[in-house]
Amino acid sequence: MESFVYSPLPHKIIFGRGSTRQLPQCLRALGFRRPLVLSTPYQIEQARQITEILKPHVEDASIFSEATMHTPLGITEKALRFCQDKESDVLISIGGGSTTGLGKAISFRKDLYHIAIPTTYAGSEVTPILGETVDRIKTTQTNISILPKTVIYDVDLTLTLPLPMSLTSIINALAHGVEALYAPNVNPIVSLMAIEGVRALARGAVQLLDDPDSISARSTCQYGAWLCGTCLGSVGMSLHHKLCHTLGGSFNLPHAETHTIVLPHALAYNAPKVPKAMEALASALPTSNGDALHGLNSLLNRLGVPRSLGSIGFREDDIDKAADISVSKSYPNPRDIDRDLIREVIRRAWAGEDARADL
Ligand code: NAD
């Protein structure tokens, strides 16, 4: 065995169909009486469902439904004032990474207990990481007090996520597991979670194709998202996440789609330096025939998810600029960062090619 450090995340996970019904009991046990439920405008109905469950048990339950992509500071400040006026004593975020981000931003500033109810597979609910945008510039900070204290995974709330969004969100989650396998501070528990998470996500995604309303498939995906999200929250990420951060932040590309398109190419770049991770990954991906890159290409093609950055609004003329930004800051990566090869990674992703092991 190699040396390692393992530090589990201090939070409680409640997993299971219908588990949001445990909220009143949860709040009672913690002594909270004035919950503030957070959502985007598109999920206000789900936020209302939560307040309906809570109302008979609390003094007041209010909703702030203006959560927005990239957690802009202006919205956080508005939500903080609302929270102050309502004298809220606990936050309940219901939604994807954007809503969880707002919950984190408020809870971090006001030291409020945060219960996250994720409705996508992005994984933010199990990380101590907060990304916020001020004047269109996104900065990220990590602090253990950002981590939501309780997470409730209730599969019923994911049924309304349209299939195309579900599939890219699943690959977003899978990317956390992939990069965890070769993280500089990986440990045996995180490796186990990554492999199990990737296996569950790949299996669940293929099942969803046949039946987007399948409780069993969506539950398998949620299980995988929890595991891979926990990997993201536990160990450092490398090239793939840095590239997606650059492309999302500097070129305003959609989060989950960008992850989906870039992942196979970033993996192809690192593959020569991480043979053990590639072997483990191949064992978790269906139809890999012992080749992780082949397994990932064929999974993505089978799911019919977007494969080209060009198709989501990234321009060929911006490839050089993106390459320059991507190599401007150093970070741990298994393979040294070569500007021209990174340019080729971005070019292949822009063109929508299958990933190849010739980088
Ligand atoms: P999102 O939260 O932006 O959601 C996209 C849209 O889908 C929103 O309009 C949302 O209301 C809607 N939606 C979500 N779940 C739904 C459901 N079940 N039914 C119907 N509509 C639903 O998308 P996301 O991909 O979950 O999150 C992306 C954001 O999260 C990015 O800003 C990203 O940077 C951040 N993120 C942060 C971390 C972290 O650890 N800090 C991790 C992953 C993602």
Burial of 208 (0-12, 13-18, 19+ CB in 10 A): buried
Looking only at the bridges linking them, the beta strands covering 62-64 and 137-142 are unpaired
User: 275 C-alpha to center of ligand 1: Å?
Assistant: 32
Q: Tens-digit pLDDT profile for the chain (359 aa)?
A: 889 999 999 999 999 999 999 999 999 999 999 999 999 999 999 999 999 999 999 999 999 999 999 899 999 999 999 999 999 999 999 999 999 999 999 999 999 999 999 999 999 999 999 999 888 777 899 999 999 999 999 999 999 999 999 999 999 999 999 999 999 999 999 999 999 999 999 999 999 999 999 999 999 999 999 999 999 999 999 999 999 998 988 898 999 999 999 999 999 999 999 999 999 999 999 999 999 999 999 999 999 999 999 999 999 999 999 999 999 989 999 999 999 999 999 999 999 999 999 99
Taking CA atoms only, the protein residue closest to ligand 1 atom 4 is 96
**Is-contact 93 116, C-beta < 8 A?**
yes
Strand order across the 35-38 sheet: 12-15, 150-153, 113-118, 90-95, 35-38, 62-64
State phi, psi for 355 to the nearest 5 degrees. -70, 140
Dist. CA 335–CA 19, nearest whole Å: 43
User: 95 C-alpha to center of ligand 1: Å?
Assistant: 7
User: 166 C-alpha to center of ligand 1: Å?
Assistant: 11
User: 255 C-alpha to center of ligand 1: Å?
Assistant: 8
Nearest to 248 by CA among 237, 238, 260: 260
The pick from 44, 48, 124, 247 for probing ligand 1's pocket by mutation, whose C-beta has the most ligand atoms within 8 angstroms, reads 124
User: 169 C-alpha to center of ligand 1: Å?
Assistant: 8
User: 55 C-alpha to center of ligand 1: Å?
Assistant: 26
Structure tokens at 140: 């990220």
User: Counting atoms of ligand 1 from 1, which one is nearest the CA of 43?
Assistant: 11
How far is the CA of 241 from the CAs of 234, 263, 266, in angstroms? 14, 9, 9
**pLDDT digit string (tens) for 92-149?**
999 999 999 999 999 999 999 999 999 999 999 999 999 998 887 778 999 999 999 9
Percent of the chain with pLDDT over 90: 94
CA 23 to chain centre: 23
User: Counting atoms of ligand 1 from 1, which one is nearest the CA of 248?
Assistant: 34
The pick from 255, 257, 258, 312 for probing ligand 1's pocket by mutation, whose C-beta has the most ligand atoms within 8 angstroms, reads 255
Taking CA atoms only, the protein residue closest to ligand 1 atom 16 is 161
Dist. CA 88–CA 162, nearest whole Å: 32
Taking CA atoms only, the protein residue closest to ligand 1 atom 26 is 96
Taking CA atoms only, the protein residue closest to ligand 1 atom 35 is 97
User: 101 C-alpha to center of ligand 1: Å?
Assistant: 9
User: 173 C-alpha to center of ligand 1: Å?
Assistant: 12
User: 225 C-alpha to center of ligand 1: Å?
Assistant: 13
Which residue ranges have their beta carbon within 6 Å of ligand 1? 40, 42-43, 69-70, 95-99, 101, 119-120, 122-124, 127, 129-131, 157-158, 160-161, 169, 232, 255-256
User: Counting atoms of ligand 1 from 1, which one is nearest the CA of 118?
Assistant: 15
